[in-house]
Chain A
Amino acid sequence: MTRREILKNMYKVVVAVGASSFLSFDDLLAMDRGEITKPNLVWLHGTSCSGCSTSFLNIEGVSVVDILTEYTNVIFHPDISLATGHQVTDLLERANEYKDSIFILEGSIPIAMPHACMMGDKPMTYWVEKLAKNASVCIAAGTCASFGGITDMDGMITGPKTLADFISYKGINKPVINLPNCPMKPEQLLYVLFYYLKTKSLPELDKEKRPIRFFSKTIHERCTRHDYFTRKKFAKKIGDEGCLYYLGCQGIVTKNDCPINGHNDNTNICIKAGHPCIGCADKYFPRKIMLHTYDDKRPNERFKIIS
């Protein structure tokens, strides 16, 4: 393969994530020639599970490390960087020497119990504050960083804050974008990175700071089983044809692009896998009940869908 062929392959990713309307192949060639300065990128884990990092590696056809090193300057990623121990903290302490910097946080930030997430003997609150202050844009990767997710379920005592809440609580005025979904969809993050690369700004956001491009409609509105819903054909058990509403489906209140772009390069989505949507991209995830039988009569406030 020639260099041009490799770039062509990479351009397929640009097309696949929907960024070809603003990022042309010529732009890519120009970046390869070093004519466009690369933004710096720092990725940190708050109280997270690394699911979003793992998901990010799942970009179709091309090694995401190639894309990252070609089009950004990755200062630090906890699962990719070779730096270990004090090398990491030395590097992050000097992060403010990097201008034009993108800060990505996966997981939430426990503020009631700062000691619940430590790195280099300092609480994560210290690192997030430092890096967010220096960043041009902050990206909340996944539901925990965007809305709290499972780290903020009822019964949690660590007092988790989302990235957006944390930086406004610290009085830091930086643009934040939320990419909820558990885990974050790699295509959505790449789209945002490419958008930033080209325009030095964020795509249009809704009131929850999510990109409108992906989060304007509920799963239900574009569901492959929507036709069943309009015909009032409802599944009574797992494996039935029909709308999964009465088995606990939360597609009706959850906004995301799953029915269009799917997961794992559009290999599948939860509803096609016969499972009701569990609302993993939603603000109220995880709900008290996600999957129940058709005739579940338990009189309990917990089972109501909150919109």
Chain B
Amino acid sequence: MSKRVVIDPLTRIEGHLKFETTFSKDGVVKDAKCSADMYRGIEKALIGYDAKVAQQVTQRVCGVCPYAQAEASALALENAMGLKLNKNGYLLRNLVVGAYRLQDYILHFYILSALDFIDITAITKYKGNDSALVGLKKWVEKELKSGKIFPATPFLPRYETAYTNNTNLNITAVKHYLDAIPMMAEIHKMVAIFGGKSPHPVAIEAGGITTRPTVDALVKYETLLKRTKRFIKDFYVPDVKAVAKDYKEYFNMGKGTGDFLNFDFMPDENGENFLFVGGSTIDGKFEALKDTQIVESQKYSYYKDDKKDYAPLEQNSIRPLNWYEFEKEHKKDNGKYSWSKAPRYRDKVVEVGPVAQVINTYKSGHNPAFNKLIDETNAELGINLNDYNSVMGRHLCRALISLVVVERLENDLNKVVPGELGFIERDVPRNATGFGFTEASRGALAHWIETDENGLIKNYEMIVPTTWNISPKDSIDRAGAVEQMLIGTKVADENNPIELARIVRSTDPCIACSVH
């Protein structure tokens, strides 16, 4: 009899995620089901709203990567308008989205993931005199002796497992965990300088960025960028590498399908020559993007229209199951189990995210400096490009992307012409259709918009990174990308299935995005 293990909720991700696995006798995952447990219905609710509202509303599907939703929405509308930005428009948009990307990666590594690898209780062994650490040490000791029902929350309870016993790494990483939070606040300030505020920057509108770049603002951005660069180079990248060295086996765990999809990210001031090049790697072969070949299956999703797969904008309404139907599906053996749909690219289950971005850009050969960075890292860690398709590969890719993005931001900042508005104003397009593709922190992101004769939204569609990754099975019962990562994993202790949590968290799921 196989054993069933349910993890519900998975914390330290965005939103409500449950996953269910069945084990063989020797503790290996045979089957996995990922359930996105939240539904709002934002895409179709937008129908009847002004086309420019889409940017403000769709970025609110996600409070962790709103910048990318805003950008995709603005790109879709610009595509419908047939509008190209001016130089400052492209540069300033890079400064907003690039900075946000850095904040998001640091958040993901330190706050959401690090304490799955780092032993926070090792702080009790701390012998130095950094008063922040001494304070934390005293606090942990006091909590453990307090006799509370749950001492040391929110750091305990946790999955008890063999965390690293490298005291030095444990203490450094805990210190950087605490330092990362004010650093993230600083990076959010960079976003706010040109975006207006962060989270939810208003200024990324179709036409560019509404903020006029004053010299003051540029200097302030530069100061913060220097600090950010130092944090990334001195703390973030070394910490990820140190964890990678201590957990080498994780370069072999959580392998996905091996097929990758990403979209273009960060153009130059002419809107061309992207820093990261979009495309797909299918069966090991890199190809440029074919955007028409995306469909979504709803067979295992809690929606009624599930007889066929739908192309973007093919549906103009969405019909979710009611409570009674929802309960009925749960009682079936092979019933629907997620609010997420199952998108497929060229009929393949693809993984999106940092690894797709790194592998596809590397294979495109478009950016030699980037390829050199990857080669050097591989030599340092004794890995090769195939090892990136793993838990540790995903963490490492985020760190490496950060290094490249931070340098690009320095470069773009110097090109901004002070005082010149990076915005071209246009009325909303009537009876028009447009699409916007970009790369969010979590991977390939696409928006489609259709407007009516008054410039109001007639139809809207979003296919979001986590929808690709966390997708349930599709119409021919192929498991989603994360489900495939889980299958075949050996779990040492079913009561503390840390291996599974590490795999799912490595993809940085965002459920609010995936279901929207």
Contact = CB atoms under 8 A, between A and B. Distances in A.
Given A87-B157, A113-B320, A238-B207, A47 B189 contact: no
A28 B18 CA distance: 40
B196 A80 contact: no
Given A2-B131, A118-B37, A238-B423, A58 B157 contact: no
Nearest to B516: A49
Given A54-B64, A155-B48, A274 B211 contact: yes
B50 A150 contact: no
Contacts of B48: 154-155, 288, 302
A84 B153 CA distance: 12
Chain A residues touching B, range: 35 or more
B458 interface: no
Contacts of A264: 185, 188-189, 191-192, 197-198
Interface stretch (A66-74, A172-180, A190-198, A211-219): A66-74
Contact of B44 (A66, A78, A155, A303): A155
B185 A58 contact: yes
A15 interface: no
Q: Which residue, B62, B184, B211, has most C-beta atoms of chain A within 10 A?
A: B211
A91 to B, nearest CB: 6
Given A119-B16, A238-B423, A289-B50, A69 B210 contact: no
B233 interface: no
A116 B185 contact: no
Contact of B196 (A1, A49, A82, A269): A269
A290 interface: yes
Interface residues of B, number: 98
Contacts, number: 310
Nearest to A74: B154
Given A286-B53, A302-B50, A274 B131 contact: no
A88 B323 contact: no
A58 B184 contact: yes
Contacts of B197: 263-264, 268-270, 273
A149 to B, nearest CB: 8
A151 B199 contact: no
Contacts of B203: 270, 273-275
A81 B63 contact: no
Given A150-B57, A280-B200, A265 B185 contact: yes
Interface string B4-38: 00111111101110100000000000000000011
A275 B199 contact: no
Contacts of A6: 131-132, 135
Given A65-B178, A85-B9, A265 B189 contact: yes
A186 to B, nearest CB: 9
Interface string B164-177: 00000000000000
Contacts of B327: 115
12 contacts: A1-B132, A74-B153, A82-B154, A120-B8, A153-B49, A156-B40, A239-B210, A239-B425, A264-B191, A274-B423, A280-B200, A289-B52
The 3 closest A-B pairs by CB, nearest first: A51-B63, A273-B196, A155-B45
Interface of B: 6-12, 14-16, 18, 37-42, 44-50, 52-53, 56-57, 60-64, 66, 107, 111-112, 115, 120, 130-132, 134-135, 139, 149-150, 153-159, 178-179, 181-182, 184-185, 188-189, 191-200, 202-203, 205, 207, 210-212, 220, 302, 320-323, 326-327, 339, 421, 423, 425, 427-428, 454-456, 501, 512
